[in-house]
Structure 1
Amino acid sequence: MIRGIVINTILFVILTYIFSSTGLFYVSSFGVALLASIVLAILNVLVRPVLWLLSLPINILTLGLFSIILNAVMLQLTSAAVSNQRFYFSSFGASLLIAILMSICNAVISGLFVD
């Protein structure tokens, strides 16, 4: 869990730097990125199972692709919980793009650090 928080914090900072000129995604500081990662971890433990269960039929119909939408929703909830001025996405499409990029990066990094 701690490793995931650290990885997400670093990913938030890197993705903010990459998308800084576009305005799609903004994190005001490293501390806010750390706070957002902690909030995301808490939401993933408390809220995600409920959302996953409610969306199970559509997730089955889309062969699991709806999970990307759930990841974007979790990022939007994180943005709302942290503060829209310090951590925000310009649109749901932006959070969807960040969710896809974070999923890919997390999969690659997790593959590198298999216990």
Structure 2
Amino acid sequence: MRFIIEILLTGLAFFIGAKLVPGVTIDGYGNAIIAAVLIALANATIGFILRLLTFPVNFLTLGLVSFIITVLMILLVDSMMTSFNTSGFIAAAFLAIVVALIKAIFGAVAGEKD
């Protein structure tokens, strides 16, 4: 049940992020959920492999490379979906930041329950 709630909240974060970041559009909440799931899958597979390969550089840049990989995964999903569009790297970077902040707010409001 917690996994489903996490997916719905991540979709909501992407939907809100698309409304806040100029240059990003998502056609509806359902498509935001699909985009969030695809980005999570891309990060868990391709992103994981890229993070392993770039670990030394990522360590030296204090995680900046990891952030860039996340932005690239957003751009990858953008190219796969017609209902999710970004105007480029900068818009995708701002979307990643806004979504991370919104998810942090959701986590602070809901509290961490284990």
Other structure's SS at 1:63 match: coil
Query: C-alpha distance in 1, partners of 2:30/2:37?
Result: 11
Is 1:28 the counterpart of 2:27 in the alignment?
Answer: yes
- Residue 107 (structure 1) aligned with residue 109 (structure 2): no
* Aligned residues with identical type, % of pairs: 27
SS in 2 for 1:26: strand
- What residue number does 1:56 align with? 55
How well do the aligned residues superpose, as a CA RMSD in angstroms? 1.7
Return the letter of the residue paired with 2:16.
I
Partner of 1:2: 4
| Paired residues, number | 110
CA shift, 1:10, in A, is: 0.5
In structure 2, the residue matched to 1:88 is: 85
The two structures have a TM-score, normalised by structure 1, of 0.82
- 3-state SS of 1:114 partner: coil
CA contact (8 A) 1:39 1:81 kept: no
- Structure 2 residues not aligned, in runs of 5+: none
| TM-score, length-scaled by structure 2 | 0.83
Question: Residue 79 and residue 6 in structure 1: after superposition, are their counterparts in 2 closer, same or farther (change >3 A)?
Answer: same
Distance in 2 between residues matched to 1:13 and 1:104, nearest whole Å: 13
Any idea what the Cα deviations from partners look like across 1:74-95, whole Å, max 9, x if unmatched?
1111212223xx1011010110
Distance between the aligned counterparts of 2:50 and 2:6, measured in 1? Answer: 20
1:13 corresponds to which letter in structure 2? F
Does the residue aligned with 2:62 lie in a helix, a strand or coil?
coil
- Aligned equivalents of 1:99 and 1:4: distance in 2? 17
